[in-house]
Amino acid sequence: MPSGLIALLDDVAGIAKLTATSLDDVAAAAGKAGSKAAGVVIDDTAVTPRYVMGLTPDRELPIIWKIAKGSLRNKLLFLLPAALLLSAFAPWLLPPLLMLGGAFLCFEAAEKLLEAVQGGHDLAEEALETHSSKELEDQKVSGAIRTDFILSGEIMAIALGTVAAEPIWEQAIILVVVAILITAGVYGVVGFIVKMDDIGLHLAERRSAGTRALGRAMVKAMPVLMRILSVVGTAAMLWVGGGLIVHGLHEFHWDLIPGAIHHVAESAAHALPAVGPLMDWVVNAAGAGIVGLVVGGIVVAVLHLFQKH
């Protein structure tokens, strides 16, 4: 009996060790999948604050909360089951779908660049044209959730591509973890960004000269931060979208462009061995961005041509 109990305890310990190892693997894979989707996450964070522009400060955080709930619903109720079905029954569809998603990101980035050159849409005018704050709020929330659906789809697809070789149950857990953490991270940062000027105004009213100076600096930094986020978000879309296209070309053994980028990156890394890994990343990212700009420009040109006709 004691020997049987010892054997049972040994089995339990082995199972516990295996479970702990699996959880470690899941955590590591979730981290890797999340980092692969970083470019889309940056763009999601950069895009969302514009949806609370033109609204009263007391409605900013409630609206962000509505968008965050819609984002999580998109990921868990629609995109997660679709991703698992795709992984189980049609994994061969993942590379072309990722390439299509990448082309869409490139198109969105190229449209932003074109708007910047031609003069973008004035959100303040939009707010004035809207008859009621409730109508404006509903428009903002529905528009943000639609945009988030596309970006969330890219995030889940990239995450799935990273863990496609794992068992289906691990894929499900990893995608749930990625969905929750990325949603919390994105909308937590967005909440801080949109309230940064209010926090700054509050600090500027304090007695301490240093605190007041910090508060004024935060208020002044807000427009600059929004412009930086817009630039970073556009660059991230080109980098991620172009990267998805380059990776897809490699998957289909069309290696002319992927091979050229890899060769230049390898040469740059060898030329500067002290910062070799950094140079390799920079050149690969720049190459993906150039591909993204070309693809996005072509899509924009074709769509505008069809619109004229």
Q: Is the pTM of this model over 0.75?
A: no
Helix/strand/coil for 119? coil
pLDDT along the chain (309 residues), means of 10: 47 42 50 55 65 69 88 92 89 87 87 81 49 70 79 79 80 86 85 84 86 89 81 83 91 93 94 90 93 95 82
Torsion of CA 153, 158, 162, 166, to 10 degrees: 10
Q: Return all residues near 296 (Cβ < 8 A) that are at least 6 apart.
A: 103, 105, 106, 107, 108, 109, 110, 111, 238, 241
**DSSP string covering 161-197:** HHSTTS-HHHHHHHHHHHHHHHHHHHHHHHHHHHHHH
Residue 47, pLDDT score: 63
